[in-house]
Amino acid sequence: MSLKTVMANLDEARKTYQATLKEESKKGKSVIAETFKELLPEGFYLRWTQSTPSFNDGDPCEFGVGDPSIGKASKKHERAENEDTEEISEYSSCEEIEGITKTQVKEIFKAFAALQKQEDFLEGVFGDGSEILIFSDGHVVREDYYEG
């Protein structure tokens, strides 16, 4: 077998692999969106970041998924971005936002905790260096995120 044939076969295998990953990533994104669509009240979003830090005080820099927060969208598919914006997280001082109950918050965080353990899956679906917002209608926004 010639080198040209070997290279062509490897290139074809790579393209098939990438197409499969892309299709599976779409399926994963859809399942995640549908799950939180069922849990989020209308007009709310779930947000988290995931990334590999570029510096970790001498420890290995490893991919990780951050803790989630829940907020109220200011417009369709946009989060409010001003000083008065409140998001609920497990560690925030904000305990409630009008329109969502504490029980709903707990259910959303519980569902996310199960998802958060699937770091390889989340990295495959959304990539490294990502901020993800899932809105109550199932719309997903992925933005670039860099953690120094």
Asked if residue 85 has pLDDT above 70, the reply is no
pTM of the model as a whole: 0.81
Which among 44-58, 72-86, 98-112 has the top mean pLDDT?
Answer: 98-112
Q: Give the mean pLDDT of the chain.
A: 88
User: What are the DSSP calls for 31-92, one per residue?
Assistant: HHHHHHHHHSPTTEEEEEEEE--S--TTS----EEPPPEEEEEEETTEE--STT--EE-TTS
The residue type at 133: L
Q: Which residues contact 73 (CB under 8 A, 6 or more apart)?
A: 43, 44, 45, 79, 80, 135, 136
Taking only the tens place, the pLDDT of each residue in 26-35 is 899 999 999 9
pLDDT band at 91 (very low <50, low <70, confident <90, very high): confident
Structure tokens at 135: 């809105």
Torsion angle, alpha carbons of 108, 140, 61, 148, to 10 = -110
pLDDT cut 70: percent of the chain above it: 92
| Residue 116, pLDDT score | 95
Q: Are 63 and 129 in contact (CB under 8 A)?
A: no
| Residue 146, pLDDT score | 76
